[in-house]
């Protein structure tokens, strides 16, 4: 950062539209970072991950957004038919950036798929499909007819840490969230703790278990969609931007 707003890198997804391949991301991520005082920098997928990693220090923080599933081969499993929306170039790009950011102590906020990327990058594993792996779990997928800010369930905050600080709520608080995922963290990575669970036990947030100086947090819900109607959710972006400014 050179005296301006912290630069928050956001890797993009690819999509085959009717006309041509496009790279993009939901505007809500960009708006939330801007509201928090950061300058979003949108990064297309790049198979030359070595070049991306070498340039990572040009940025101050990393935001990993939502999207399709990470290939299970990246966490030592075989992808089942539950794996949806594979974007291998994005997987490679984001896993390389997340690993490099973790190694450098660069702040990372992962959202939905982004939380899953953070988990895999740090050595954890995922449930390829929550319903298949945990038949007793409730349905965490987006429900037809509901707005993206529909509060589908609560998450219980399990520790005094990055998530609780970001939301301004104490350990033990129950926080209503939206839900639009069919995967979740299975085994948290080494060095991370479960920061929140849904009432059915599904892991909804992981965070670095450090001395609080390093910042890496993944949440399974979509705070960027909640910011306009549930303003406290901007805290997740504000703390990301503050930590990024303080590196
Ligand atoms: Mn959920």
**What is the average pLDDT across 115-138?**
97
Model confidence over 55-85: pLDDT tens digits? Answer: 999 999 999 999 999 999 999 999 999 999 9
Q: For residue 119, indicate whether it is catalytic.
A: no
Please report, for residues 18, 42, 91, 100, the alpha-carbon distance to residue 54 in angstroms, rounded to integers and kept in the order given: 35, 17, 18, 9
153 included as an active-site residue: no
Grade residue 15 by pLDDT with cuts at 50, 70 and 90.
confident
Q: Which of 94, 112, 153, 207 is catalytic?
A: 112
Task: Please give the Cα distance from 184 to 140 (Å, whole number).
Answer: 10
Q: What is the largest CA-CA distance in the chain?
A: 51
Residue 2 — very low, low, confident or very high, per pLDDT cuts 50/70/90? low
Is the entire prediction scored with pTM above 0.85?
yes
Residue 71, pLDDT score: 98
Read off the tokens for 121.
């990058």
Active-site residue 222, yes or no?
yes
Give me the mean pLDDT over the 159-165 stretch. Answer: 96
In three-state secondary structure terms, 61 is: strand
Task: With H, G, I as helix, E, B as strand and everything else as coil, classify residue 63.
Answer: strand
Q: What's the CA-to-centroid distance between 232 and ligand 1, angstroms?
A: 18
């Amino acid at each position: 950062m050179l005296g301006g707003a912290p630069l928050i890198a956001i890797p993009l997804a690819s999509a085959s539209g009717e006309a041509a391949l496009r790279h993009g991301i939901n505007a809500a991520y960009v708006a939330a970072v801007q509201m928090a005082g950061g300058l979003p920098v949108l990064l297309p997928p790049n198979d030359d991950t070595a070049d991306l990693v070498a340039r990572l220090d040009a940025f101050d923080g990393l935001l990993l957004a939502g999207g399709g599933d990470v290939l299970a081969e990246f966490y030592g499993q075989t992808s089942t038919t539950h794996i949806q929306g594979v974007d291998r170039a994005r997987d490679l790009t984001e896993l390389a950036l997340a690993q490099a950011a973790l190694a450098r102590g660069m702040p990372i906020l992962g959202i939905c798929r982004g939380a899953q990327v953070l988990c895999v990058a740090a050595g954890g594993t995922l449930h390829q499909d929550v319903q298949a792996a945990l038949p007793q779990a409730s349905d965490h997928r987006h429900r037809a007819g509901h707005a993206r800010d529909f509060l589908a369930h609560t998450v219980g905050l399990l520790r005094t840490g990055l998530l609780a600080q970001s939301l301004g709520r104490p350990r033990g608080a129950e926080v209503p969230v939206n839900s639009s995922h069919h995967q979740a963290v299975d085994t948290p990575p080494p060095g991370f703790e479960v920061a929140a669970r849904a009432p059915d036990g599904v892991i909804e947030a992981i965070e670095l278990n450090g001395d609080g100086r390093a910042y890496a947090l993944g949440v399974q819900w979509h705070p960027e969609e909640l910011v306009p109607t549930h303003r406290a959710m901007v805290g997740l972006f504000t703390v990301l931007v503050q930590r990024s400014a303080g590196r």
